[in-house]
Amino acid sequence: METFADRLKAAMNKQGLKQVDLVRLAQQKGIKLGKSHVSQYVSGKTIPRTDILHFLADALQVDPDWLNNNNNNDDSTLSDVDEIQTFADNSGGMKVREFKKSSKLNNVLYDVRGPVVDEAARMEEMGTHVLKLNIGNPAPFGFRTPDEVIYDMSRQLSDCEGYSASAGLFSARKAIMQYAQLKHLPNVTMSDIYTGNGVSELINLTMSALLDTGDEILIPSPDYPLWTACATLAGGKPVHYICDEQSDWYPDIEDMRKKINDRTKAIVIINPNNPTGALYPKEVLQQIVDLAREHQLIIFSDEIYDRLVMDGKEHVSIASLAPDLFCVTFSGLSKSHMIAGFRIGWMILSGNKNIARDYIEGIKMLSNMRLCSNVPAQSIVQTALGGHQSVNDYIVPGGRIYEQREYVYKALTDIPGISAVKPQAAFYMFPKIDTKKFNIVNDEKFALDLLRDKKILIVQGSGFNWHQPDHFRVVYLPRIEVLKEAVGKIGEFLQYYRQ
């Protein structure tokens, strides 16, 4: 029997429309339709409510009754009440209530762990080995936490059984404050520091405390998609400014300027950048500060990779250039100390806090509501920041991260049709695909086809809010012999692949 999903895919193919095209058409009409929803419709996991059905039928130029295929038997359309969908169960016709996810999630996407990763998990469950180049998780690739960090946590576990203060342990915040001083962040006291269950929790917290419905916030494209997701979930409108590949992936200041209006509250920067590996020089940061000063904007700076900088470069915290602005700087130990699973990050409020008093009260309220962050992980912050317990040996010539970057950059760019900007920090690269050469029009399909053919898992560029199907992200944490196998398979795949 032909299903709704079958007819939807047939209509999309006839019109030459991809899933992302439907999402964009919906946005133009003011309809909330997320990529995850379309993916679920296409896969047959769920069917849309009436208004979405009619939008899809209109966009695909088909009759809604045909598209719906009489899924509701006694009615040609679906229930007008999205929250309560009824169907007959096996006990003889009793109507059963089905619970839907909140509409607040309609436009929330996080494809770093999205449909392609779901397919990889399915393949692994069937016994297929998948080589994962998709996520920056050091532990599976043999990176170990420094022994002294593990030792200190084990010695303090018995003292970490209760809640800490909501902002964090005194020892942790003291060490973070001293680290902020080394980074020249202005006007920082102990009360300006909050620990979190990773930076991710704190990004969500700061967006929720700041944004009202319709408020705009500038976020880079490509971005780490959690920023866009959290801003959307908070009711805000993410506005993506372009990072320019022709200029080493630095932010396009003029594009940023054009996208500021009366609803804009803040600028987000990710430096060092995920997914591009770019490191922003002081001159670029100063231009962003000048723009924020001109328009009286908050600066949020995600600096989780600030200790993973190569080639003799130096990381500059943008807050150090903006003593008269209100800045929030994020960092943590997940990457620099290879303890992603411990979930310990922090944020530092700096600069002109007088202009953000009410916002800071909101931050305190949400911080109190989650009681506190992981106390055992907080207990090792002082040790981690106070000694030679980081990635320094990995990021110099001869070190694993440095040498793996050197290898993967040359190996990938040697493949005809692949180019890339060499990353200067973190452990990601964002290569470009010659879409004309390979006739690629859908980067998610490219990632899925690579996964199914060669058992290599990458993340497509659209997963980082990059709106052309011409990039993907690779993680170069695996050892060189593994990267050699992976790049070899990608090269083989591209010898015959065409969409």
At 42 the pLDDT is 86
pTM (predicted TM-score): 0.81
Beta bridge partners of 218: 239, 267
Dist CA 145 CA 430 (whole Å): 27
* Tens-digit pLDDT profile for residues 14-63: 888 888 888 888 888 878 788 878 888 888 877 888 888 888 988 888 88
For 212, which DSSP code? P
At 317 the pLDDT is 98
Dist CA 55 CA 215 (whole Å): 26
Q: What is the 3-state secondary structure (H, E, C) of 227-279?
A: HHHHHHHCCCEEEEEEEEHHHCCEECHHHHHHCCCCCEEEEEEECCCCCCCCC
Q: Which of 297, 308, 307, 303 is CA-nearest to residue 318?
A: 303
Pairing state between β 250-251 and 418-419: unpaired
Dist CA 60 CA 63 (whole Å): 9
Dist CA 60 CA 42 (whole Å): 14
- The two structure tokens encoding residue 410: 């040359």
> Taking the chain (499 residues) in consecutive chunks of 10 residues, what is each chunk's mean pLDDT?
85 87 83 81 82 87 81 40 43 70 77 80 91 90 88 89 92 96 96 96 97 96 95 95 97 97 97 97 98 98 96 96 97 91 95 96 95 93 83 93 97 97 96 95 93 95 93 96 96 94
Dist CA 134 CA 130 (whole Å): 11
Pairing state between β 193-196 and 264-270: unpaired
Pairing state between β 345-351 and 428-429: unpaired
For 429, which DSSP code? E
